[in-house]
Structure 1
Amino acid sequence: MDAISTSTLFIILGVLLFISAYFSGSETGMMSVNRYRLKHLENEQHKGAKRVSELLDRPDRLIGLILIGNNLVNIAASAIATIIGMRLYGDAGIAIATVVLTLVILVFAEVTPKTLAALHPERIAFPSSALLKPLLKIFYPLVWLINWITNGLLAIMGVSPEKHQGNSLSAEELRTVVHEAGALIPEQHQSMLVGVLDLENVTVEDIMTPRNEITGIDVNDDWKDIVRQLANAQHSRVLLYRDSMDDAIGFVHPRDLVRLLLKEQFTKASLLRSVHEIYYIPEGTPLNTQLLKFQSTKERIGLVVDEYGDIQGLVTLEDILEEVVGEFTTDVIEDKHEDILQQPDGSYLIDGSINLRDLNRQMQLDFPTDGPKTLNGLLLEHLEEIPQGSMSVKIAGFQLEILDVQDNMIKTVRLVLP
């Protein structure tokens, strides 16, 4: 070292600090890169993404390589800085070199490159991988030795780098990712994606049309009445039954009725022959499961039954799709009935039979849905009795005024928003 001039030592020290900054930035950049965007770029045949992905497959080897290089460079820089300090200031130069080099390394070789790499990981990781990959092959024996020791220590603690799976996301984490996407994903698309994730948390019982609202035709009625009801049917499929909904026969489709009118005489016997067999659904079935069952069985509609086999309601494929894409009308004749009517004073008149999930969705409310499924059921559970007249209650922070009670059911409620 005595034969090397002080100016040359300064140049060597600068080069070593630059290399140290490279290793520091590379470490942060490689570990900060978005794994899902990396996978996307890899599928797009991005060369830098492929190199980074290969290196990250074994993070223990990558970290071992970077730390070996960084420590070797920093130790060499420390030795050269000590020599420079002693030449300039004698024995006092050792302390001066230690303090100055520590500050220089922290600012220029640690904090600055790591901050830059954390803010722009791809711009640092992709070009760095071009040098790290051949370096890993050159220093592989030393890296292997260090990893063998460190992995042995990790094995004692029950950790295995080979079996590490740190990229999987739970449904809740994925939901957070969708919400945090911001302008990258349109709000409507975010709502649809979250709707798909929510399907597993909702059952057919939550969205079904209740039994008392199912429109059907009693085949034991007079034939003229049956024809009139079929002509005025507002749904794409009509349920036929004998005397009671419990004795359901099946569904008939309007296209089958048209075929009957065109090909043969339209009679009650021909109508019964055109009936499609009923598809039954257990009431606790999650929507994601039922959606797949509809797909596999080629069905679009089913009756929901409880554990005793009693009919509780009706669910269609459209009902499930509305949980994802929002409401749309598929009836032959659009239902003009409004469940929610805004009043001039700012309050709302609400039908007591409205589904709580629909009410929450339409008005951005937060009524509990883990118990009763309708507003009427929620009020009756809260009151623990059937109200005999008008009264006011407060649920989930909202003021509700019961206006009309008929047939043991709350028919109309006034909602006053805070």
Structure 2
Amino acid sequence: MDEISTSTLFIILTVLIFISAFFSSSETGMMSLNKYRLRHLVQNGHKSAKRVSTLLERPDRLIGLILIGNNLVNILASSIATILAIRLYGDYGVAVATFGLTIVLLIFAEVTPKTLAAYFPERIAFPASYVLQALLIPFYPFVWGLNQITNCVLKMFRINIDDQADALTHEELRSVVNESGALIPRRHRDMLLSVLDLENVTVEDIMVPRNEIAGIDINDDWKNIVKKLTHSTHTRILLYRDTLDDAVGFVHSRDVLRLLSKTKFSKETLLRAVREIYFVPEGTPLNVQLLKFQRNKIRIGLVVDEYGDLQGLITLEDILEEIVGDFTTTMDLPTSNNVKQTDGTYLIEGSSNIRDLNKQFKWRLPESGPRTLNGLILEHLEVIPTDPLCLRLHGYPVEILEIKDNMVKQVKVFPHLYKKRRI
């Protein structure tokens, strides 16, 4: 080293610092790559992505190669810096070289290149893969030996690197969709999240409640039956005897039109056109029920509880609307009178579904208990109110306006005065 000039040593030291920066940025860039975007690029035939993907198949080898190169460069840089410092500062040169080189390496070989690589991983990792792939050939024996030692150490702590799962969990996938930003349109993002939520929603959350099922009593007067059949706005009509508990089956409006065209249309011919009822146990997740509808080629079913009692009606369209939102067109008059007032309050029907209210108005009412606003109010009060009153329902000021038939029929909600409950 004594034969080498000081200026030459400075040039060598500068080159070593740049090489150290290369290894540092390569490590961060490789590990910061979006692996799902990388897989997409590989499938599209991106050459650099394929090369990077090959290197990342064995991250232990890649990290071993980078660390071997980085440590060799840093140790050599430390030696040269010490020689330079001794030449310039004499006996104090060792201390000067230690602190000076540490600061230089931190700024120019660690923090700056790693920060740059963290923000632009592809711009760093793809070009670096050329060099790393070439270096892996001569350094392979050293890398292999280093990996054998480190793997043995990991096994001592009962860590098996081959058992590490690479799949996303349900919540992680939700986070990916939520953070996609402008990459996925808001409407599509909502649909994807709705698909992920299907397993958390059960049939009774979206079913038509028993008291709202529109059916026809087959024991009614024949003229009334014909009138209801011809004026029904539903494609599938439920027939029952006296009560819904004695359901006969569904009849399709297409079959009704075909029978009406015949001269002999009676209860007997109508009953022969009835289709078998498909029963759905309450508590069935929507993703499971969607598959059951698909496999059985069925579009409608009756929801029953553990005792076999009828609870409501569920259709394929109801599940699809959970994913894409309301899309059906119907001649029915609107059944909801939920109206926003000019003062920011809302007039809400007590029978309104809590999930629908949360989705429509972006409220935060609990969905784990009662499914209607009336049920939530009764659970909160623990008594059926007899007179109008005011209460704070899970942070929302609510004024009960109408009570009828042991039910809260209408309330006024003040969402602008909402206060988050303390836990």
CA RMSD of aligned residues (A): 1.7
> What is aligned with 2:304?
305
- 1:334 matches 2:319: no
Give the CA deviation at 1:405: 2.3
**Alpha-carbon distance between aligned partners in 1 of 2:373 and 2:23, rounded to the nearest angstrom:** 62
**Which has the higher mean CA deviation after the structures are superposed, 337-346 or 402-411?**
337-346
> What is aligned with 2:350?
352
- Offset from partner CA, 1:358-408 (integer Å, 9 cap, x none): 111112111111111111111222222222232222211222222222222
Change (3 A) 1:389 1:89: closer
Q: Which runs of 5+ in 2 are unaligned?
A: 418-423
- 1:361 matches 2:363: no
Number of aligned pairs?
Answer: 416
- One-letter code of the match for 2:221? D
**Alpha-carbon distance between aligned partners in 2 of 1:348 and 1:99, rounded to the nearest angstrom:** 68
CA contact (8 A) 1:401 1:415 kept: yes
State the SS of the aligned residue for 1:377: helix
CA contact (8 A) 1:240 1:251 kept: yes
> What is aligned with 2:40?
40
- One-letter code of the match for 1:308? Y
State the SS of the aligned residue for 2:271: helix
- 1:119 matches 2:106: no
**Alpha-carbon distance between aligned partners in 2 of 1:7 and 1:379, rounded to the nearest angstrom:** 83
Give the CA deviation at 1:234: 2.1
- Offset from partner CA, 1:110-146 (integer Å, 9 cap, x none): 1211111111111001111111122222211111111
CA contact (8 A) 2:336 2:352 kept: no
Q: Which runs of 5+ in 1 are unaligned?
A: none
- One-letter code of the match for 2:161? P
Give the CA deviation at 1:252: 1.1
**Alpha-carbon distance between aligned partners in 2 of 1:281 and 1:78, rounded to the nearest angstrom:** 74
Give the CA deviation at 1:345: 4.4
- One-letter code of the match for 1:100? G
- One-letter code of the match for 2:288? T
> What is aligned with 2:222?
223
> What is aligned with 1:243?
242
**Which has the higher mean CA deviation after the structures are superposed, 89-98 or 237-246?**
89-98
**Alpha-carbon distance between aligned partners in 2 of 1:359 and 1:298, rounded to the nearest angstrom:** 32
Q: 1:191-206 alignment to 2 at 5 Å?
A: 191-206=190-205
**Which has the higher mean CA deviation after the structures are superposed, 228-237 or 396-405?**
396-405
**Alpha-carbon distance between aligned partners in 2 of 1:270 and 1:107, rounded to the nearest angstrom:** 88
- Offset from partner CA, 1:262-306 (integer Å, 9 cap, x none): 356322222111111111100010111111111111111110000
- Offset from partner CA, 1:54-77 (integer Å, 9 cap, x none): 211221111111000011111112
How high is the sequence identity, in percent, across the aligned residues? Answer: 63
Give the CA deviation at 1:318: 1.3
> What is aligned with 2:49?
49
Change (3 A) 1:85 1:405: closer
State the SS of the aligned residue for 1:247: strand
**Alpha-carbon distance between aligned partners in 2 of 1:85 and 1:115, rounded to the nearest angstrom:** 29
Change (3 A) 1:85 1:350: closer
> What is aligned with 2:409?
411
Give the CA deviation at 1:164: 2.3
- One-letter code of the match for 2:395? G
CA contact (8 A) 1:353 1:374 kept: yes
**Alpha-carbon distance between aligned partners in 1 of 2:65 and 2:263, rounded to the nearest angstrom:** 83
Give the CA deviation at 1:81: 2.2
Give the CA deviation at 1:344: 4.5
Give the CA deviation at 1:225: 0.4
**Alpha-carbon distance between aligned partners in 2 of 1:6 and 1:374, rounded to the nearest angstrom:** 83
CA contact (8 A) 1:60 1:161 kept: no
TM-score normalised by structure 2 residue count:
0.93
Change (3 A) 1:131 1:261: same
CA contact (8 A) 2:279 2:304 kept: yes
**Which has the higher mean CA deviation after the structures are superposed, 406-415 or 65-74?**
406-415
Change (3 A) 1:89 1:366: closer
**Which has the higher mean CA deviation after the structures are superposed, 358-367 or 306-315?**
358-367
Q: 1:162-241 alignment to 2 at 5 Å?
A: 162-165=162-165, 167-241=166-240
**Alpha-carbon distance between aligned partners in 2 of 1:156 and 1:299, rounded to the nearest angstrom:** 56
> What is aligned with 2:6?
6
TM-score normalised by structure 1 residue count:
0.95
State the SS of the aligned residue for 2:261: helix
Change (3 A) 1:377 1:89: closer
- One-letter code of the match for 1:118? A
Change (3 A) 1:87 1:177: same
> What is aligned with 1:152?
152
**Alpha-carbon distance between aligned partners in 2 of 1:114 and 1:346, rounded to the nearest angstrom:** 51
**Alpha-carbon distance between aligned partners in 2 of 1:365 and 1:254, rounded to the nearest angstrom:** 38
**Alpha-carbon distance between aligned partners in 2 of 1:291 and 1:45, rounded to the nearest angstrom:** 36
CA contact (8 A) 2:191 2:324 kept: yes
- 1:133 matches 2:133: yes
**Alpha-carbon distance between aligned partners in 1 of 2:43 and 2:333, rounded to the nearest angstrom:** 48
State the SS of the aligned residue for 1:2: coil
Change (3 A) 1:353 1:79: same
**Alpha-carbon distance between aligned partners in 2 of 1:336 and 1:67, rounded to the nearest angstrom:** 68
